[in-house]
Structure 1
């Protein structure tokens, strides 16, 4: 159902911090066909701002950190366009995905959230298994209908009441870490945020639970999700996932011991 006679406008929105390495390539993949680029920075110390201002004058800074979900809510407040396409700085929109996004925006369906299929790299190689692909994530929606939830990490877009989800064609390329220890540091940050959030909600864990969840994470990634088909990269990812899960549950357990 089309609600407007005029073509709906489209914004790309990002939350960033120290993304000078990736930001230009990301924005190059959208700059020629979106109506608005909104970037909310959380205190970069590199040249992120300088790069961002080459593409948009809608660059904002919020130095305190409320978590990923609420930071995206803040960014949305600066958006004026009808639709929002959410990207991370290390992602690139492929031509096929661009065409699908443009068709979805032109259709202008109400109460619809669109998902993209993210194809990620690990240490320089695209990962097609290991639970990484297909990787359907909600990233496109009408601005006035919904927003991200309040979750501090692994946030998601709230599906509107009586809403529906549609899938777009084409991949969203995701260039993750090439350095093993950089990847580990990110996972450790996510584990800490997860444990803090669960602790505040009164959730508990134990050493046995941490070990069991960690072991199952490895089995799920490497065997059930066919990580072995990704070769040594799949094995490494399975190990990292297991360590991440162990850190989450042990961290939660120890918070209750303070």
Structure 2
């Protein structure tokens, strides 16, 4: 637990994470003051597992997007600090030590960034633009919150605040199988298009151009080739996601014009 009077909560938004959430909560349950889990209507036993670690398990199945869901979860947090996790993440001992250190010796007007190391298809990805992967995950609960974005939400960092980068990594077990990747990215593709429909124009040439640039960026500029065959596959998959996003946006507009 944190020392003194300063408290820290771990907060998660989840859905159908029974295969992940146990190990995630095991990595924090013995040193945080509060655990808040907001479920989006799981059909598995995610909430039952979460209740083994905390009595602050809530359900909000009227999905309004990732940003809004995180805001809802934060509304249940009572601790001084909130530390965000996803169910497929694990906190390392070094990261735990550094989180507790900055909480117990907190400087005014600071937000804290954490370096995530992801595992995809059984391999740690140390290049390809995946690592280092600095994300803002820790801040004083009263000072900020997540954006309203449907997808790719982010912490709104006040201009008055300093960004502090912590030592230690957050382990991220993304997906083991291609169908898991496809299921997750299909959801993100739809939300990405929903957020931009009617606001952003697209075309087949834009879809191809953005996809090609994504492959070049990941595989060559971000040295994905150093991740071996995994780096090549991830660059191709990511390029396909980008192509599908822009193609979907163009097709939506095309269909509307034909009506």
- TM-score of the superposed pair, with normalisation by structure 2: 0.96
For residue 187 of structure 1, report the CA deviation from its aligned partner. Answer: 1.1
Q: Name the count of aligned residue pairs.
A: 253
Q: How far apart, CA to CA, are the structure 1 residues paired with 2:121 and 2:184?
A: 14
- Quote the residue 1:39 is aligned against: 37
The answer to whether residue 226 in structure 2 is matched with residue 229 in structure 1 is yes
Distance 2:108 2:71 in 1: 20
Q: Residues 40 and 59 of structure 2 are in contact (CA less than 8 Å); yes or no, is this contact kept in structure 1?
A: yes
Deviation by residue 1:20-64 (Cα, 9 ceiling, x = unmatched): 000000000000000000000000010101100000000000011
Name the counterpart of 1:140. Answer: 138
CA distance in 2, matches of 1:161, 1:78: 25
What are the within-5 Å matches in structure 2 for residues 169-188 of structure 1?
169-188=167-186
* Whole-angstrom CA distance in 1 between matches of 2:196 and 2:132: 28
5 Å matches for 1:83-232?
Answer: 83-200=81-198, 202-232=199-229
Q: Is the 8 A contact 2:4 2:104 kept in 1?
A: no
Partner of 1:61: 59
Gaps spanning 5+ residues in structure 1: where?
none
Distance 2:51 2:230 in 1: 36
1:104-150: CA deviations, max 9, x gaps?
A: 11122222110000000010111000100000000000000000000
Contact in 2 for aligned 1:84/1:140 (Cα 8 Å) = yes
Which structure 2 residue ranges, 5 or more long, are not aligned? none
Matched position secondary structure for 2:236: helix
Q: Which runs of 4+ in 1 moved over 4 A?
A: none
CA distance in 2 between partners of 1:7 and 1:125 (Å): 41
**C-alpha distance in structure 2 between counterparts of 1:205 and 1:196, whole Å:** 13
Asked if residue 15 in structure 1 is aligned to residue 5 in structure 2, the reply is: no
Distance 1:11 1:255 in 2: 42
CA distance in 2, matches of 1:161, 1:56: 34
